[in-house]
Structure 1
Amino acid sequence: MKVLWITNSAFPVISNQMNTKVPIKGWTHSAAKALIAAFNDIELAVASIHTVSNLKQIQSDKIIHFLVPQAAKTYAKNKRYDYIWRNIKDEFNPDIVHIHGTEYPYSYAYIRACGSKNVVVSIQGLISVIERYYFGGIKKLDILKSITVRDLLKFDTLFTRHRNLLERSTYEKLLIKDVNHIIGRTSWDKAHVWALNPDANYHFCNETLRPSFYNKKWTIKGCERYSIFISQANYPLKGLQQLVKAMPLVLKYYPQITVYVAGTNYFTNRGIRISGYGKYINRLLKKHKLSNHFIFTGSLSEQEMCRQFLKSNVYINISAIENSPNSVGEAQMLGVPCIASFVGGTSDMVEHEETGLMYRFEEYEMLAYYIYKIFSDDEFAIRLSENAIKKAVKRHDELINAKALHQIYLKMFS
């Protein structure tokens, strides 16, 4: 069975060969390795967006890689680059086409160019829903007050970014309505797929995590006490502002708290390069005298991310909306005590007071209390850790997920 995957970024092995930045999100690579290791009947090709100027083909690790020029992503809203998708289809002649994610117009461009026969689409996030929550509860007046020279010169205000999401959501809806097969993993994505295309065949399949998270375990003795880790924070939807608001309440009891934020520091010491959101967060940090409590780690590799999880006393997912964040899965697989906002499909991953703690996104007081609760009760933190590992090991089992995906392909192919 010949299967073509379409992904947003190249696999790490290709990035290394091409001397380009290795993508942070490597779980599609993990899933591919598990699939071809378990099933000899799969011949896999992966088409991914890359910095190449022309379509390029590379063979590596039993996988054919088609590197698609960045322009095919940038200009996917018109038909100019549809010929690339037709060329890939003609060259590989797939029995099944698996599109990973609906967030970018190039996913719909394949359907537009080649049709939807034997195409299945995996839901990652849903832009058409995410856009509703993009501003993360920040008042529009505060956003207006925070617009910087950098935003204006680069035409990159939060309002501009939101309009971009609205445009992309149009193509996402077209894609979901046009295909007959959808892969999801939460009650949230299933409901939204049903709302757009009630006749689609919905298939359940959990995600496989990056390999570093399968063979290590968090311990209370091995962590940095009273430390917090968040894995994303570069736009309002990810909720950094809510943690900043919660911090003063916890600092009354634990003044030594340190918050580690993965990713580029868009918020402090940026000068004229600071964005509007960065300016807003910087103002909040200074208002609450919190600047010394936040450390921005820079972009972390897979191994560095794993070490940061293990180092942390608690991991928090503070997003205004999520489907099933892999960062929560990674935290649970390692056994890091986890707090998550009760949004989207996250409640399918976290059982309150069993495998983690959940709170309403807007209620930063509850967030503060749950941080306090984990810091103040080691036995409770350890119980959350042990329970989370038991659930995560089953949810993210590589072989089980590979078998589920293989069965989906067989049903479509028969």
Structure 2
Amino acid sequence: MKVLWLSNVLFPEVCKVLGVKVPVVGGWMYSGAKALLKESSELQLGIISFYDGHDLKIIDKKPVTYYLVPKKNIASYVGGVEECFVEIKKEFKPNITHIHGSEYPHSRAYINSCGIENVVLSIQGLVSIYAKYYFGGIKFIAPTLRDLLRSDSIKQQQKNMEQRGKMEIELLQNVKYFIGRTSWDKNHIWNNNPAANYFFCNETLREVFYTKEWRFSKCQPHSVFLSQAHYPIKGLHQVIKALSIVLNHFPKTIVYVAGNNFVSVPKYKRNGFASYINNLMDEYNVRKQFIFLGVLNEEQMVEQYLRANVFVCPSVIENSPNSVGEAQLLGTPCVASYVGGTMDMIIHKQTGLLYRFEEFSMLAEHMCNLFSDRQLCEEISRNGQDIAKKRHDPKKNAQNLLKIYQTISNQ
């Protein structure tokens, strides 16, 4: 069987050939491809991704053929990609085309140019829904001079996501086959395309997360880890409010944040959200409790999960956040907002703790309960790890995906 993937990230093999850094995002897709090829010796895999070049480039790394389409900005719909897609399809002759994600215009561009026959779309996030929550419940975020000069305020970012969302809805309404993994994404497929064929398949995560295990005795007491925080959807502002309560009970609490310190850059470089967070940190007197770690590779991410007393996913909306899966797979006790598909990943008080996004005092209480109760930490750690090992089983997920491909191919 010949399967053609459409991906928005460059795989490590390609990065080595191009001499560019391996992206810190999308590593789960590479792990999924490896598991798939391990499970089927007859599978031929073609992978389309995008690079900063001028011509269609083909890199043969049997049993994978990489097709690199020139496109500098994956968030924009530009001419040229459709012609490349037609050429790739004609050359590779896939039995199945698997589009990973609906968030970017190139997904719609593929079906516009190549049709929907034997095309399956797997849902990652849904920007048509995320755009509604872009401000994370914040009533107003004032644009800075930087925002105005770049036409890149938080409001403009929301509008850009809304535009991508319109293209996404057109895609959802036209594709016949979908792969999802939560009741939330299944609902939105049904809402947009009631006649669609929906297949359930979990994701395989990055390999290193299967090799380590969290231990209470080795974690840093009263420490919290956040895997993202740079825009309102990720809920940093709610953690700031919650932390002000936690400090009354555990005054030495520290929050480690993956990603660059967008808060402490010079004022002329700050966007509206960074300025808002700066003011909020001062209002709640918690600035010293936050440590930004910079961009982390997967090994460094593992190190932070293992060091944390608690991992928090405070987003206003998510489908099935890989960060929760990674934390559970390692055994790090999780607290997450009850939004989107997160409810399918965490059973409250068994495999993690859930709270309503707006109720930051509940987030604070959950953090304090885990800080003060080793038995609760270890119980949630053990249960979360058990369920995550089943959910993210590479062999099982690869077998399931192959069955989906075969089912679609036979119809």
TM-score range for the pair, normalised by the shorter chain length: over 0.9
Q: Which amino acid aligns with 1:45?
A: G
Shift in Å at residue 270 of structure 1? 2.8
1:212-227 paired onto structure 2 within 5 Å: 212-227=208-223
Match of 1:64 in 2: 65
Give the TM-score normalised by structure 2. 0.98
Mapping for residues 224-303 of structure 1, pairs under 5 Å = 224-303=220-299
- Structure 2 residue 172 is matched with structure 1 residue 173: no
Q: Alpha-carbon deviation of 1:72?
A: 7.4
Alignment-derived partner of residue 203 in structure 1: 199
Residue by residue, what CA displacement relative to the aligned partner does 1:311-341 show, whole Å, maximum 9, x if unpaired? Answer: 1110000000000000000000000000000
Deviation at 1:60, TM superposition (A): 2.4
Partner of 1:124: 124
Shift in Å at residue 79 of structure 1? 5.0
**Aligned counterpart, 1:29:** 30
1:148 counterpart residue number: 144
Q: Secondary structure at the match of 1:287?
A: helix
Aligned-residue RMSD, C-alpha: 1.1
SS of aligned partner of 2:380: helix
Kept in 2: contact 1:79–1:109 (CA 8 A) = no
Mapped to 2, the partners of 1:331 and 1:270 lie a distance apart of 33
Deviation readout 1:337-382 (Å, 9 max, x if unpaired):
0000000000000000000000000000000000000001001000
Report the CA distance between 1:82 and its aligned residue.
1.3
Paired residues for 1:10-409 under 5 Å:
10-24=10-24, 25-60=26-61, 62-71=63-72, 73=74, 75-76=76-77, 79-140=79-140, 143-144=141-142, 147-409=143-405
Question: For the residues of structure 2 that align with 1:234 and 1:55, how far apart are their CA atoms?
Answer: 33
Larger deviation, residues 105-114 vs 280-289 = 280-289
Query: Partner of 1:2 in structure 2?
Result: 2
Structure 2 counterpart SS, 1:221: helix
State the shift of 1:265 in Å: 1.1
Between the aligned partners of 1:122 and 1:292, the Cα distance in structure 2 is 41
- 1:74 to partner: Cα distance: 5.1
**TM superposition shift of 1:226:** 0.8
Decide whether aligned partners of structure 1 residues 72 and 226 sit closer, same or farther in structure 2, where only a CA change above 3 A counts. closer
Tell me the amino acid that sits aligned with residue 8 of structure 1.
N
Using the TM superposition, name which of 61-70 and 321-330 deviates more.
61-70
- Alpha-carbon deviation of 1:71? 4.5
Alpha-carbon distance in structure 1 between the residues aligned to 2:357 and 2:397: 30
Q: 1:277 to 1:393 in 2, by over 3 A?
A: same
Asked if the contact 2:69–2:81 (Cα under 8 Å) also holds between the matched residues in 1, the reply is no
Does residue 411 of the first structure (1) align with residue 407 of the second (2)? yes
After alignment, is 67-76 or 391-400 more displaced?
Answer: 67-76
Which deviations, in whole Å up to 9, do the C-alpha atoms of 1:182-237 show, x marking residues without a partner?
Answer: 00000000000000001110000000000010011000011111110000111001
Gaps of 5+ in 1: none
Equivalent pair of 1:99/1:121 in contact (CA under 8 Å): yes
Task: Check conservation: 1:75, 1:81, Cα contact below 8 A.
Answer: no
Q: What SS is found at the alignment partner of 2:69?
A: strand
Aligned-pair CA distance for 1:13: 2.2
Deviation at residue 133 of structure 1 after TM alignment: 0.6
Using the TM superposition, give the Cα deviation of residue 45 of structure 1 relative to its aligned residue in structure 2, in angstroms: 0.7
User: Could you tell me how far 1:73 is from its partner in structure 2?
Assistant: 3.3
Judge conservation of contact 1:46–1:63 (CA < 8 Å) in 2: yes
**Contact 2:70-2:81 within 8 A present in 1 as well:** no
Secondary structure, counterpart of 1:336 in structure 2: coil
Q: What amino acid is aligned across from residue 384 of structure 1 in structure 2?
A: I
- Give the aligned residue type for 1:227: S
Report if the CA contact (8 A) 2:255-2:290 is conserved.
Answer: yes
Bigger drift between 53-62 and 26-35 goes to: 53-62
Q: CA deviation at 1:17?
A: 2.6
Does the aligned pair in 2 maintain the 1:99–1:119 contact within 8 Å? yes
- Stretches of structure 2 lacking an aligned partner (at least 5 in a row): none
- SS across alignment from 1:229: strand
Q: 1 CA distance for matches of 2:190 and 2:42?
A: 32
Report the alpha carbon displacement of residue 283 of structure 1 after superposing the two structures with TM: 0.8
DSSP-derived class of the 2:387 partner? helix
2:305 and 2:327 in contact (8 A); partners too: yes
Rounded to whole Å, the distance in 1 between the matches of 2:265 and 2:145 is 15
How far is 1:269 from its partner? 3.6
Q: Is the CA contact 2:51–2:72 (under 8 Å) kept in the aligned structure 1?
A: no
Spell out, residue by residue over 1:280-308, the C-alpha distance to the aligned partner (whole angstroms, 9 max, x if none): 00111112221111011011001111111
